Structure 1
Amino acid sequence: MPMFWLQKVSVRSPENPEQKLIITLLSHQLLLRPPPAGYFYRDKLKPHNQYTSIPMSEVQLERPTRPCDRCRKRKTKCVFESGQEKCYLCKMSHQICEFNLPPLKKKRKAKSPSATDISANGMSIKKDSPGSPIPDDPKHVELPKYFFRLEGNNEFDQYIFGSLLDSNSIELYPVESIKRTILTSNGTIFLQAEGNMEDVEERKVEIEKINQIIGNVGPKLVALYFRIVHTSFPILSKNKFLEEYTEDQGHISPCLLSCLYLFALNWWSFDSDLSIETKPSQKEIEVLAEANFYREIKKPMISTVQAGLLLIQHQSFRDRYDNPCDCWPHQSAVYACAQSLGLNKDCSSWNIPVWEKSLRRRLSWGLYVQEKWLSFTSDKRSHIDSKDWTVGDLDPIKDFEDFKETEMESENIIDGKIDLEIGKTLFLQKVELTKIVNEILLRLHSEEAKSVLNCLPVQDPLLSLKKTLEYIKPLQIRLTAWESRLPTNLVIETNVSRGFISGAPNIYISNFSAQVSVLRPVLRILSSIRESKLLVDKEFIGIRDIVYNKCMTILEKFIKFLSELRAEHLQTFWYTSARNGLSNIVVFEFLLALVSKNKAELDNCLDKIEESVWKLKLNNKNAEFFSHAISWWNILKKHLTFKLENFVFYNEGNIGENRIENGKIKDELIYEDPNIGNSLTNPMDRAQTIGNESYLSPEYFNIDSMDNFIFTYQNGE
């Protein structure tokens, strides 16, 4: 051991400058040389009146209080027996007991957001001492900051204020004593409004109300939420939330906290410790969650959007919204808050942390998924315009860097969790499918599209059928192409590993719902032609047979899907679209029965429908929302019985009697592609532009045999 480590130096405040200089240099020499690995000197600077050399026997070495490297990695207690140089674990495994790893980094204290830093907490309250509770003294409480993204077409003209923001901020006159500031971040302008003490006190009061209902089971519920919900619907930042939850709940939105608890209570029995406790009242938490949501939308934060999405999810499955359109005003309010916060814009160039950019993108696409599917199932016009949506696509790696388990979570077998990779894949595939659903909304559900479809010439059955099939063909291509690329880890597993539940069924119900939605206009045409008793020829019946067989194939796949479901698939997190997606399939089955061409076909179809409803009833015990589709079928069954009393099959004959002049009909249906801005009048051009695949490629077209069938009849074969 070097001799300079055997010198202990200290002085009694020397007054001689030369002596002070010598001591300083010698102290630096000592400090620049590290001691032996794993050891440090006790009382390195000990008061003494002279420099001395200390014998080796008198050097006092002391082990650090932290565990050795091996025990730290295993997260076990490091135990030393008296007089031993190795800990118990290293001694038993015949390993070297080392202390070479650097000490664990302390959590960095949260830095107060700068003028252009937009906190993902929804502009959280700043703290004098990060990590400490909010002080009661108003003089030491910095008020919350609320940010609103400013567009150019208002009094905050971007050209005027953008040129004035050299200092990155402009103070405005206060409104009702509220301090206001205009900020800029790489060309994007925000209005910052400072809250008041009432906001702080009100938040504390609401948090106390929530905790009084939940009691001491809060941490368990938070763990349940992140194991099940967050895995498939990652609209929160797990690390950020847990940091605020453990350090100071006063900085968490009461609405978000109540919604998180509300959702986690659905899996109360999945935790062995919770299952023996008295379950808190979901109704009381729901009342608080809804009241806090409508209070917070006046000053929206990121957490307001997160809470709003969860609240709609919960209430949709608990029959709080009896009809799909009941939750539409609520969803509209959530999107309005998102627009105020700029969640519909690309944030890649904003002056915010990298983790927050990832969070914003995930939250934006989570909002997109829920809004589009609610629009899809409630037949309402979507508020999200593709021309006003500039959010970048999700990166499976960069945007999910914080999407991982701790070492303890991955090693322990915990009842009730969704595999992280499956959950991430599910979310990404749901986003891609939703983009296709957006095309379905524009092409089939918009008022313009409905008017075009309603103008089809019913008097010419064959032409009406062909035009409708041509109109939906690009959507069929896109759906089939998406399905062909579905990752293998979303296949319905026959055996789910112990402790896991699967979220994969979500994507199947969504896929079935999208497919039947595309085919429903064709079934309506076929049904209306049958009821009108118009003459149809062999070519019409041949095309009808192909469509009918395709629809029956979808129904059989749906029955097979229901048969493969287990409790591990059913007691999972379900997207809002699942509940009404099942009822859409029931409506499709009703329409399918009405296009039968003979009694044998009708009886077979009714038998398949009853089988699918029976499967729904069997699975209803583990997924209560299945009862909505069952009850809806019971309603439709009465109407179907009424229609079947006077059921007349297709009237086959010479269709020349009801043909009309082709000149009186539009040659093509017009489709406006919002991404291109052009009218694509040619079906082949539409299919190639929207589907990016070959128009007649069998692997991308579900009813490709129809083309061959028409070709055969046109050539008289």
Structure 2
Amino acid sequence: MANFGGPTLLKRTLGLQADRYCQYIGPTTDFEPSLINLSSFDPQDESLLARGTLRRVSDNDTFLLLPDNNTPGYDHIFEDADEIENIVAPHGRRLIDLYFRVVHPGFPVIQKNVFLEKYERSHREFSPPLLAAVYILAINWWEHEEELAGLARPNVRELERLVRTTLADAMYRPKLSTIQAGLLLSQRPEGDQWAPTAQLVAVGQELGLHLDCTNWKIPPWERGLRKRLAWALYLQDKWGALVHGRPSHIFASNWAVQPLNPNDFPDIECDETDNEERLELERGRVLFRQMVQLSQILAEILDTFYTLQATSQIANAGPQGTQLVLSLAKPIQLKLKEWYSALPALIRMDSTFQTTPSSSSGSRFSPIGYLHLAYFATEITLHRRIIRSMSFSFSSDDGSSGSNPPIDPYIQHICRSAAKARLISAMDFVNRLTPSHLRAFWYFASKTNFALIGTFGSLLWGTSPGREEAEWYRRRLGEYRWTLSVSSKPGEGTSKGLTEFAMGMLDISTGLLKKLPEKPLLSRRDG
């Protein structure tokens, strides 16, 4: 691609070369870093060795470039790309436009101008799994595109079959497009699994996404793309750890990626858009940056309260366990409060910016819902740990029970009141969602985050000291279920799976509560 005739944004790229892939040379491999600089590097910062070509991107960071043609599946890359394009033909470009209108603003993991430049030349320039992933996601909004709504949908099952096989092949020659494809596939309603996330993190480390690329000798747009992909990978890992209840794979001690700034979102793609589209792109970028900041707070909560070491430390504190939890929670709670109060007006739920239909691009959607839902899920994750640490007992049919030592009634009241306020706010948020929110792009963790609100309500119901309070939670959970059932209507293809999953989990948790013994009446008045 460096020799491509005419102007191209792909010249001198590191992670998106057409015929080579790169491997980061770490400090403990069979390459001795202190000897690498003894190689003879040409003006392109490359040095040919028997094992491959060294590419030096900074004084401290070097990659090994290897040819694609020695990897499994290479011989049928063009054939795979053709098959994918034929499945969606003649609607390929329309689906790509739909993707960039609906998904891209709230999840900017693709370099739009580079992607469109390649597509204008040929679909064969794409990594097959990335091309298929873009189509698979865009098809979720098929019915919302006026020119597509009345037509038969492409064969999504066949696209998914192709993306599974081609992504497995791409893992042998990893590029930035491999990470992009994996991240996009994880955003499907049923696409999130923990094991592929672990594999994506490993591939990201192979590509050096965990490093600080600020001063690397690569195109400026690739530096921005690398940072966005690195943080998107961070999000995938941290939210995956939350929703699956698994240990995170990314640690602060091996994470040098710098915070995102406006320059990491090139303005080139805005040149030909109107003011409304520019505002929507800007909102998406602000949204993504805020999601990164929120996820760093979530990571702190997971590290502080939910690792095996943290769980053991709290358990070993005995009667002082709740006090320990509260002391650890206070500074994190302040961070969450500051984060929320500092949210830019552009992405607040009461923002004056309204998404309205446009004659040129059809209906617009507001993706800010997934960020606000993630905020409530983060609050709930913190308060769940506080409530769990307090005195309560669950008895099963065989009479066995688990309990903690009793805690001061006043502290218990304060903690439960704070938890109740968070639950009310979360439920009210869901009740305020509009069709423009529900039909928009939702981050993969949203499905579980909707369910966590119900799980939290069930926890508060089950730990209620008296019948009146328990009855209050029972009624509110019934109302929440009704809200979820109503919310599934407007979005159908996009929101239906989110809310149906949450309703199913709510039915399971409230069903378990029926096995609790009846609670005592703490007041003569009805609750």
Same fold (TM over 0.5): yes
Question: Who is 2:201 aligned against?
Answer: 335
Question: Who is 1:516 aligned against?
Answer: 380
Q: Which runs of 5+ in 1 are unaligned?
A: 1-106, 125-143, 175-179, 322-326, 651-717
Question: Who is 1:185 aligned against?
Answer: 57
What is the rounded CA distance, in whole Å, between the counterparts of 2:177 and 2:403 in structure 1? 57
Q: Which of 356, 359, 363 pairs up with 1:497?
A: 356
Question: Who is 2:230 aligned against?
Answer: 364
What is the rounded CA distance, in whole Å, between the counterparts of 2:140 and 2:26 in structure 1? 41
- Where in structure 2 are the equivalents of 1:380-391 lying within 5 Å? 380-391=246-257
CA separation of 1:112 and 1:376: change in aligned 2, threshold 3 A? closer
What is the rounded CA distance, in whole Å, between the counterparts of 2:380 and 2:276 in structure 1? 42
| 1:310 shift after superposition | 0.6
Question: Who is 2:50 aligned against?
Answer: 173
Q: Given that residues 597 and 649 in structure 1 are in contact (C-alpha distance below 8 angstroms), is that contact kept between their aligned partners in structure 2? A: no
| 1:545 shift after superposition | 1.3
CA separation of 1:567 and 1:403: change in aligned 2, threshold 3 A? farther
Q: Given that residues 176 and 207 in structure 2 are in contact (C-alpha distance below 8 angstroms), is that contact kept between their aligned partners in structure 1? A: yes
Worse overlay, 296-305 or 551-560: 551-560
What is the rounded CA distance, in whole Å, between the counterparts of 1:639 and 1:505 in structure 2? 30
Q: Deviations over 1:183-211 (max 9, x none)?
A: 22222211111232886641110011112
TM-score relative to the length of structure 1? 0.66
What is the rounded CA distance, in whole Å, between the counterparts of 1:153 and 1:535 in structure 2? 49
Q: Deviations over 1:231-268 (max 9, x none)?
A: 11111110001000011222111110000000000011
Q: Which of 499, 510, 521 pairs up with 1:626?
A: 499
What is the rounded CA distance, in whole Å, between the counterparts of 2:146 and 2:156 in structure 1? 19
Q: Which of 434, 453, 458 pairs up with 1:566?
A: 434
Question: Who is 2:525 aligned against?
Answer: none
User: Does 2:376 correspond to 1:376?
Assistant: no
Q: Given that residues 391 and 406 in structure 2 are in contact (C-alpha distance below 8 angstroms), is that contact kept between their aligned partners in structure 1? A: no
| 1:501 shift after superposition | 1.2
Greater CA radius of gyration, 1 or 2?
1
- Give the secondary-structure state (helix, strand or coil) at the position aligned to 1:466: helix
Question: Who is 2:7 aligned against?
Answer: 109
Which amino acid is 1:471 matched to? L
CA separation of 1:362 and 1:647: change in aligned 2, threshold 3 A? same
What is the rounded CA distance, in whole Å, between the counterparts of 2:322 and 2:70 in structure 1? 66
Which amino acid is 2:356 matched to? S
- Where in structure 2 are the equivalents of 1:15-414 lying within 5 Å? 108-110=6-8, 113=11, 117-120=12-15, 122-124=16-18, 144-167=19-42, 168-173=45-50, 180-187=52-59, 188-196=61-69, 201-314=75-188, 317-318=189-190, 327-396=193-262, 398-402=263-267, 404-407=269-272, 409-410=273-274
- Give the secondary-structure state (helix, strand or coil) at the position aligned to 1:192: strand
Which amino acid is 1:109 matched to? P
- Give the secondary-structure state (helix, strand or coil) at the position aligned to 2:187: helix
Q: Which of 362, 365, 371 pairs up with 1:507?
A: 371
| 1:402 shift after superposition | 3.1
What is the rounded CA distance, in whole Å, between the counterparts of 2:94 and 2:9 in structure 1? 29
Q: Given that residues 162 and 189 in structure 1 are in contact (C-alpha distance below 8 angstroms), is that contact kept between their aligned partners in structure 2? A: no
Which amino acid is 1:489 matched to? L
What is the rounded CA distance, in whole Å, between the counterparts of 1:381 and 1:412 in structure 2? 41
- Give the secondary-structure state (helix, strand or coil) at the position aligned to 2:64: strand
Q: Deviations over 1:115-165 (max 9, x none)?
A: xx3344x211xxxxxxxxxxxxxxxxxxx1111111121111111122334
Worse overlay, 351-360 or 521-530: 521-530
For CA contacts below 8 A with separation 6 or more, give which structure has more relative contact order. 2
Q: Which of 476, 485, 491 pairs up with 1:608?
A: 476
| 1:432 shift after superposition | 0.4
Q: Which of 538, 545, 550 pairs up with 2:413?
A: 545
CA separation of 1:189 and 1:535: change in aligned 2, threshold 3 A? closer
Q: Deviations over 1:666-715 (max 9, x none)?
A: xxxxxxxxxxxxxxxxxxxxxxxxxxxxxxxxxxxxxxxxxxxxxxxxxx
Q: Given that residues 314 and 324 in structure 2 are in contact (C-alpha distance below 8 angstroms), is that contact kept between their aligned partners in structure 1? A: no
Q: Deviations over 1:84-142 (max 9, x none)?
A: xxxxxxxxxxxxxxxxxxxxxxx9433884xxx3344x211xxxxxxxxxxxxxxxxxx
- Give the secondary-structure state (helix, strand or coil) at the position aligned to 1:620: helix
| 1:214 shift after superposition | 0.8
CA separation of 1:452 and 1:197: change in aligned 2, threshold 3 A? closer
| 1:648 shift after superposition | 5.8
What is the rounded CA distance, in whole Å, between the counterparts of 1:454 and 1:422 in structure 2? 43
Q: Given that residues 430 and 483 in structure 2 are in contact (C-alpha distance below 8 angstroms), is that contact kept between their aligned partners in structure 1? A: yes
Question: Who is 1:466 aligned against?
Answer: 323
| 1:597 shift after superposition | 2.4
Question: Who is 1:526 aligned against?
Answer: 390
CA separation of 1:163 and 1:630: change in aligned 2, threshold 3 A? same
Q: Given that residues 418 and 500 in structure 1 are in contact (C-alpha distance below 8 angstroms), is that contact kept between their aligned partners in structure 2? A: no
CA separation of 1:161 and 1:465: change in aligned 2, threshold 3 A? closer
Q: Given that residues 118 and 147 in structure 1 are in contact (C-alpha distance below 8 angstroms), is that contact kept between their aligned partners in structure 2? A: no
